[in-house]
Structure formats: structure tokens, C-alpha cells
Amino acid sequence: MSKQYQIEKSFISRGKLLIWLALASIVLSNSIAPLHAQTLYGSIVGSVADSTGAVVPDATITVVQTETNDTRVATTNSSGGFTLSTVPTGTYKVTIFKSGFSLFEASDVSVRLNTTVRIDAALKPGLQTQTITVSSESAELQTDRADVSHDVTNQSLEELPQPTRTYEGLIGLLPGISPPAASTGGTNNPMRSMVIQANGTSASGTNVRVDGVSATNPWVQFYSTAVPSTDAIQTVSVVTGSADADQGMVNGAAINVQIKTGSNALHGSIYLYHIDNLLKARPYFLPSTNTLPKLIDNDAGGTISGPIFKNKLFFFGSYEGDFLHQGNTNIATVPTDAIRNGDLSGSSSAIYDPSTGNLDGTGRTAFTNNQLPANRISPIAQKIVALIPQPNLPGIANNYYVNTPSYYKAQKVDTKVQWNATKKLNMFVRFSDYPYNVTQGTVFGPILSGGNNAFQKGNIYAVSASATYVSTPHLVFDALFGLTHSSQNLSPPNTNQRYGSDVLGIPGVNLGALPEAGGLPQFNVSGYSGYGYGYPALVYNDPVFQYTGNGNWTRGRHNLRFGIDISQQHMNHIEVTPTGFSFTGGVTSVNGGASANQYNSFADFLLGLPQNDTNSEQSVPNVTLRTWQFSPYVDDQWQITPKLTASFGTRWDYYPVPTRQGRGIEYFDIPTKQYRLCGEGGNSTDCGISVQKTLFSPRVGIAYRPTETTVARAGFSLIPEQINMFRDGLYNYPNTLTGSYSGVNSYQPATTLAQGIPTIQPVSTDTAVLVLPAGVTFSTTPKNFIRGYVESFNGTVQQDFGKGWLGQVGFVGSHTVHQHTRYDANYGQVGGGAASQPFNNGTLGNSITGGVVFIEPFESMHYNSLQATLEHRFAAGYQLAVAYTWSKWIGTCCDESGDGQPAIPIPAYFSLNRALEPSDRPQNVQISGLLTLPLGLANQC
């Protein structure tokens, strides 16, 4: 308890400091401004002077979007500065007019997502028009920002080759990004999104927004539910450190993806990508007599965009279909004919009779000649053995080859309509739909299965609607509503039959209703490939609602942006833990003898003596969780001089205790040793669990231009951890009745196949306190939940070398404090076994040997890096980008994303967890480029 108190005390002290910082930023906002970069928009800023360098106030600034003729107007302030905030992305012509001076024009000014473009003008006396051209793809100094940000341009998305055909593959080219790995998908990740970690922060802290709407998977936060087609994307903005205050609900990389929109011109495209096995390398373990597995991947699609009503209403639509047929090489281990019949004479060590000797595994007698008597072999095990195929390769390991077919079909439809309703009001609506289905062949056939899940299907759809209203040239409002809905279904083979109970006759398995209760339970025999379903049938329906409102007020040299983000996450699941039996070999070993081998483990299986077993049943129609997040913010950027910009801001993040549908969550009260149902039997809805109400997250930054070609920047931000505090308790008792049982030691079985697994009886859920039955597992939060946070800091220098070349070098670091972890409070002491577990020996509970997870803020991480980039954006027929990162990432092993648990839970040895994180990459160099061919046509492209 003292450790918990110290954490709370330190955080409260820090909270007081953050309150003062927040108040200071609000006071400063009365005199503050430009250059705020917004998640859906960009900004145009600048200063106007005459030929002598004197400032020019009251000059008229007019910007016209080339694609749609949308127009915005502003005037320079008393210092000659101007700001146009909340500017839709696109290409603009900027004109500056002041009576008595020549007209200034800048064409091809590209405003990208979440960026600030500076246009400085020196007006000449007279009536002559002065025109300059800014290349829409040229690299530009970020003169007025302090964050660490990068973007992936439309040129890169369309032209750079990549095997995954997703924008996420290109994010790996940026500095500070741990190389993202391609994914083969699965129920938790049907769109095959990549895990993205930036600057030593948790992958669960990365937040992907598509047109302003979060696409983060509420169940597995480091995946994205929606991954738009690459050809539907206009640009991708990535902020990896010291984000501005309007970048909310993220403590890692803030990734903003913008879908294309229409214009006054009609555009279209069509494409087909084809891959087959003619160019595929031969799998290393493929038997020499076999041909290459089948591989046919067709990825086809197209886009179309244009005007519905010129200058008013525009549309965009895209379609992509990925149709992958392939054969998968599988090398499995199956028992030889002798082993499956109980002849274990090939073992180099004795196979012992578990019915002899002592309880602790000593004094046992070996089976004669390592032969199991036929009358001792379990009839249930014999039924399973009859389904196991014979080896088709030599040896006792990796002796079975099979090619299993699979079919993956994913379709992506992205649409968008933009309406310039009036000169003051702009709106857009986006709808995306991503249906998918997967069919997989199993390793051991339709009953024995062997790992692959036969069928997966589902759909992800997303809706966003946004409006921007220019009240005055100095006051702009925008609002957004969004919904991302993910529906996922998985079915293993034979879900219409309770094979374990009805055919094999094992009590306590295949519990509940079909199809979730169907199929063959898992049988995991050490040293052999597993039998049974890869996972039981499940259904996820997870909508995420988002409500955002912002205001932008420019006054003098200050730009004040304020607003609120509200996120509402629903999880509705039908899912149980796989029912299964584990055979480790200890039951037929002897205490003090040779270690168990695969002969021992198969002997355990043939005797029907598992050392561990688990069963599970869902007691409610849907396991639910309802989570809210509230995050108002204020951010002020102050153009102190035309060369110096400072930013101050803070968010206030509030995360109420989640609830179930119709009641609260579950909570284990340590002092009373009681398991409480919140909202039932007189318990309050939150059971008195307290969450912080002082989660202010300040952001401070400064950008200085000592010359017109050099920018120096520094920034700091403190951002709370975004993880759902009760995600790990979703399947808690009594919503899911899960029993996990082990033998009293490693030499004794937990049960026999004939006896089966004890069934946990359903209980009434309208009571305040439940008695925890033997074998149950659950998760809980502390009474006072402490939310971790990330401190991000950077200092960089950016240099324009001319002719389109831009370089940057600097220090980027982060410090993660009190990161949450799944802390197994039911740990045993070294050498103590199950008898030393506190929920088994009466200290906190009785007869519970499985995991008891407390969500605790016990982890920390440090990341320090030198990052450098050199780039030449596409111009003169070529593009080149080089990114280098030299870094060290150290923290609690090995749970860098807060999705696992410390390797060593015992407090006395907890300090031994400190180690390099698995994703630490000390040296990381990424090089990419484009070249137009033939070279003689470069300037024509």
C-alpha cells in the first residue's frame, strides 16, 4: 500500500504543477496567436513588409483553393502579420493587396494536413503585379512549429513501391519509428494493419484518425480497424513527439489520414496488381519432391472524382479488392506408429508409472521396457489418436508435411462528398465500407483441425461528418461527428457439434450454446503439434463514437485554439477462453530424474492425465463494456516576432470508470477480500474506485528562425496514457465462467480425461458480493487508479540547402512513467509452487491457481535518440529521402505496449525486469527515392 501511496502523492504534486501551467497558458492566450496546425486542416501564416522592411498593416490577404475556388480573406495586424487557420488541404493562390503597393501573388501554395505554410511578402511601391510560384511538392521549412512531425505525400503513396500496399508501410521510412512488421491478419486485425511505435512510446498509445475519426481498435489498441485504400488517401500526417494540444487522446504517434476529395476537374484511375508463385522463393522446409505452393494475389481497383455542381459540390469514390489464393506450407510433428500405440522404447530416459511412488513424484517405478500397458491407455485418447495422420517425413519431429489452402478476400470502398455551402460554411461527409472473409484449410482435417480457424468474416464501416464555419476572418469554428464500427466473426471447424462432450465423452467441455460451444477442445502435447480448434467461435461488435468541436480565434499576434474531444467506446463480445488440456510430460517423470521429453508428454496424453486444464462458458448473451473519454483543451501560439514563435497549451483528460451495459464493472477489494459487483446490491456504480481529475497535459514549444533558411525548434509535452483501464477485465467472472486448474505439483495431473473439468456454476448477478469459486480467473483495478503518462521532448535544427534540399538533425526523447501493466497478483514464490500463491493459500483467496490480474502502474521506459533526415521532395524528375535514427530504449521487460506483464512479478526481484525493450533498434537507416524515366522527360512530368 505504501508503494501505491507514493505513486499517488507524486502524481498529485505533479498535477498541481500542471494546473499552474494550464492557468498560465490561459492567461497568455489573451495576447496570443498564429500557426496552429489542426488534425483535419492546415494553416497559412506570414508577414507583410514594404521594400524598406517596415511592416504593412491592414493589407488584404486572399487565398483561393485552385481545385474548388473556395476563398478565404484576412487582413494583416498592426505588426504586419496574418494567420488563416482551419484551412482545408489543397493547392492555393495567395494574393496580398495594399493600396499604393504592387499586387503580390504566390501560386501553387500547397497546404497539407496538420502543417503550417509561411508566405512572407515584401511589397513594392507602384501598380505592378509581383508573382512568385511555390512548388506544391517542394520541401518547406516548418518555421512555426515545435513538434516532431513528418508527412507522407500523395506522390509517395502513389509511386513508392511497397509489398503491403498500405500507407503504414511508408510510415516505417520515418525517423524514430520502429520498423513496422507486415501482418497476416486474424480476427483481431482483419484489415492487416501494422503495429506502429514511435520514439520509445507504447504501440497502444498510437492513435490513427481517418478524416478526423479514430480508427483505433478498442479491443486491441495497437491495431487499426480501418485501413483505407492507398489510392484513396491524399496525405498522411505523423506527429511522433511534443504534439500540440489539439492532438488529443494519443500518447504515442498521432497519425492523421486524409481521404481524397473531388475538385472542379473530373479525374479517374484504374489499376491491377498481380502476384503469383513464379517469382516466389522456394520455402526452406518444403520437401524436395513438392512443387511451389499456390500463390495468386490480384489487387484491383480504381478511383473517380469530380464536380457535382461546379465550385459548390464535389465527390470522390474509390474501390479496392484484394483477392488472395494461396497454399501454406505446414511442417508439423505427429507421433510415429510405435509411439501412438504406447511403445515408447525409443526414449533415452525411463517412462514412469504415475500410480506408483509418492505425491511429490519421488519413488516411482518405470514402465517395463517403456511400454504402456494397453489397458492403461485412455479410450478417449485412443479416439483422438485415430484422427492423427501418419508421418510422411522421417524422424520423430517435424515429420509431417501438408499444404493447406487459404482464401483471403478484402474489399475497400471509400467515398467522400464536399459541399461549399456558402462563403462561410464548408461541409464534408465520408463513408467507408470494408467487408472481408477468410477461408483456411486445417492441418489435421475438419475435426482434429490443428490450429487454423476455418472461417472468418466481418465488416468495418466508418462515417464522418464535418463542418467549418468562418464567423469572421479572425474566428473560425469546426465540428466533427464520427463512427467507426467493427464487426468480426470467427468459426473453427465443426462448430455445429459438441465433439468433446458428445463424441469423446469428456465431462465439463463444450459448455454453452452452439456455435460458440462447438468443435474439438484443444489438446496440447509438449513436443507435438496441437490438436483441436485454434480458437472457439466468437463474435465482436465494437462501435466507437467520436464528437469533436473546435474554435480558432486570431487576435493580434496570437492564435487561440480551443475545443473538446469526446470518445465513446462500446465492446459487445461473444467469446470464451479455449477449453483445453496440456500434457507436459511431468506426470510420467520422476522427481530428481531426467527432464521430461516428448515421449513423456505423449505418455501423459495416452494415459489421459493432463497437468493443466481450462474450460470456459459465457453466462450472458454479450459481454459488454462502455467507456467514455473527455478531453477539452486550449492551445495558444504567439508570433512574438516574424522570426520567433512560442506555443503554450494544455488538455484536461478525464476517464470515468467504465461500466457494463446495465451495471458497473467488477472489483476485488483487498482489505475485505471481497469480490464486488459495482452497481448491484447497494454498491455504487463505480464501487468507489477513484480516477484522477487533475490530468492536465501541458505542451510548450518554441521555433526560431535565425536566418531565412534555418529553423531551430524545441518542444515538451506531457500526455496521459490512453489505454482502457478495464479492457483486461472484459471477460471477468461472472460474465464469463472460466476455470483453470493445475496439478498440486509438476508431477501430478490436474484431472483425468474421463473425469473431465469441473463446471463453474452460474450465479446470480443481482448481489453486492460474490464468493469466488475454485479455479476462477479475473482481473481488477486498484481502489485508486493511477493513469500513466509520457513526457516527450525534442530539440532540432532544420536547414534549407536550396534547390529543393532540406535537412534536419536533433535530439528526440521520451520518458514513460507509471505505464499500466497486467500484474499477476497470484504469483508464487521461487520454489514455493501453488502452495505459495496468495489466492490459493488463504492469504487473499482459496483454491485459485490461475492468473489474477491487477491493472497496476508499475512500468516505466526511457528513450533517447539522435534523429537526422535529408530530403528532396519530388521536383526536377526525382525524389530522395534519407532518415537515420541512433537510439536506446530501455524499460520494464518486456511489456513495451502495456499489453503483457512484467517477466518477473515477485516484488523482491522486480528490479531485475529492467532491460532493453524488444523493439529497441540502436541503428536505423531508411532510404527511399523516385526517379522519372527517361531522364530527358523529367521536367515534363
Give tens-digit pLDDT for 76-128: 988 888 988 888 888 899 999 888 888 888 888 888 877 888 888 888 887 66
Report yes or no on 556 lying in a domain: no
Indicate if the pLDDT at residue 941 is higher than 60.
no
* Residue 226, domain member (yes or no): yes
Convert the pLDDT of each residue in 463-496 to its tens digit. Answer: 999 999 999 988 999 999 999 999 999 988 888 9
Assign residue 246 the CATH number of its domain.
2.170.130.10
Give the model's pLDDT for residue 142: 75
For the cut 60, the answer to whether the pLDDT of residue 208 exceeds it is yes
Q: Which residues of 274-297 are buried (b: 16+ CB within 10 A; e: fewer)?
A: eeebeeeeeeeeeeeeeebbebeb
Mean pLDDT for 299-323 is: 96
Nearest to 36 by CA among 800, 480, 651, 649: 649
Q: For the chain, what is the total number of helices (H) and then of strands (E)?
A: 7, 43
Domain boundary (77, 102, 135) is at 135
Distance CA 334, CA 395 (A): 10
Is residue 518 domain-resident? no
**Phi and psi of 230, rounded to 5°?**
-55, -40
Q: In what order do the strands lie in the sheet with 130-133?
A: 71-75, 60-65, 90-97, 104-111, 130-133
Rounded distance between C-alpha atoms, residue 407 and residue 455, angstroms: 10
Give the integer Cα–Cα distance in Å for 594 and 588. Answer: 11
φ, ψ at 30 (rounded to 5°): -70, -10
Residues pairing with 216 in the sheet: 224
Q: How far apart are CA 77 and CA 32, in angstroms?
A: 13
Residue type, 539: V
From first CA to last CA, the distance across the chain in angstroms is 68
Q: What is the pLDDT of residue 272?
A: 93
**How far apart (Å, rounded) are the C-alpha atoms in residues 332 and 316?**
49
* CA atoms of 781 and 641, how far apart (whole Å): 50
Domain shared by 255 and 272, yes or no: no
Q: Are residues 224 and 191 in the same domain?
A: yes
CA dihedral (361, 362, 368, 369) in degrees, to 10, reads 80
Q: Is the pLDDT of residue 939 over 60?
A: no
Give strand pairing partners of 717: 699, 792
Task: Please tell me which residue, 3 or 71, carries the higher pLDDT value.
Answer: 71
- The parent domain of residue 159 ranges over 148-259
Residue 303 has pLDDT above 80, yes or no: yes
Does a structural domain hold residue 822?
Answer: no
Give the closest residue to 383 by CA, choosing from 438, 447, 443, 336. Answer: 447
Q: Are 745 and 361 in contact (CB under 8 A)?
A: yes
Reply yes or no: is the peptide bond before residue 720 cis, omega within 30 of 0.
no
Res 546 pLDDT > 70: yes
Q: How confident is the model at residue 35 (pLDDT cuts 50, 70, 90)?
A: very low
Q: What is d(CA 583, CA 523) in angstroms, rounded to the nearest whole number?
A: 8
Looking at the structure, do residues 322 and 237 belong to the same domain, yes or no? no
Q: pLDDT, tens digit, for every residue of 562-595? A: 999 999 999 999 998 889 999 999 999 999 999 9
- Judge residue 802's burial from the number of C-beta atoms within 10 Å of its C-beta, 0-12 exposed, 13-18 middle, 19 or more buried: exposed
Q: Is residue 14 part of a domain?
A: no
* 144 grid coordinates: 512555426
Same domain? For 226 and 299 the reply is: no
Specify whether the CB–CB gap between 846 and 774 falls below 8 A. Answer: yes
- Torsion 813-819-823-825 (CA) sign: positive
Q: Please check whether residues 164 and 275 belong to one and the same domain.
A: no
One domain, residues 105 and 194: no
Last residue of some domain: 102, 135, 168?
135
Indicate whether 327 and 246 sit together in one domain. Answer: no
Q: pLDDT tens for residues 390-423?
A: 999 999 999 999 989 999 999 999 999 999 999 9
Q: Is 258 strand, coil or helix? A: strand
Query: How far apart (Å, rounded) are the C-alpha atoms in residues 644 and 642?
Result: 6
Residue 838 lies in a domain: yes
pLDDT at residue 130, rounded to an integer = 63
In whole angstroms, give the CA distance from residue 368 to residue 366. 6
Residue-wise over 852-886: b if at least 16 C-beta within 10 A, else e?
Answer: bbbbbbbbebbbbbebbbbbbbbbebebbbbbbbe
- How many structural domains is the chain composed of? 4
* E strand or H helix that includes residue 456: strand 455-472
Higher pLDDT residue, 397 or 739?
A: 397
In a domain, 235, yes or no: yes
d(Cα 860, Cα 818) in Å, to the nearest integer? 6
Pairwise CA distance, residues 526 & 56, whole Å: 80
Task: Please indicate, yes or no, whether residues 754 and 833 belong to a single structural domain of this protein.
Answer: yes
Give the DSSP H/E element, type plus range, for residue 5: helix 2-28
Task: Give every CB contact of residue 450 below 8 A, 6+ residues apart in sequence.
Answer: 332, 442, 443, 444, 529, 530, 531, 532
Query: 710-720 and 736-742 as β-strands: parallel, antiparallel, unpaired?
Result: unpaired
- Domain check: are 51 and 126 in the same one? yes
| Cβ count near 371 (within 10 Å) | 14
pLDDT tens per residue, range 338-389:
999 999 999 999 999 999 999 999 999 999 999 999 999 999 999 999 999 9
CATH number of the domain enclosing 54? 2.60.40.1120
User: Do β-strands 522-525 and 580-583 pair in parallel, antiparallel, or remain unpaired?
Assistant: parallel
Shared domain check, 152 and 123: no
* Contacts with 110 (C-beta within 8 Å, 6 or more apart), sequence order: 90, 91, 92, 117, 134, 135, 136, 137
Same domain (yes/no): 122, 166: no
Percent of the chain with pLDDT over 90: 55
pLDDT band for 700, please (50, 70, 90 cuts). very high
Same-domain check for residues 131 and 177: no
Note whether 204 and 252 are within 8 A (CB): yes
pLDDT tens across 521-540, in order?
Answer: 999 999 999 999 888 889 99
Kindly state whether residue 290 falls inside one of the protein's structural domains.
no
When the pLDDT of each residue in the chain is averaged and rounded to a whole number, the result is 87
Helix (H, G, I), strand (E, B) or coil at 111: strand
Q: How far apart are CA 522 and CA 581, in angstroms?
A: 6
pLDDT band for position 713 (cuts 50, 70, 90): very high
Residue 368 has φ and ψ, to the nearest 5°, of -60, 125
Question: Region 771-791: what's the mean pLDDT?
Answer: 89
Is the per-residue pLDDT at 769 higher than 90? yes
Is residue 927 over pLDDT 60? yes
Q: Say what percent of the chain tops pLDDT 70.
A: 93
pLDDT of 514 higher than 70? yes
Residue 354 preceded by cis peptide, ω within 30: no
What is the pLDDT, as a whole number, of residue 784?
A: 93
User: From CA 532, how far away is CA 523, in angstroms rounded?
Assistant: 6
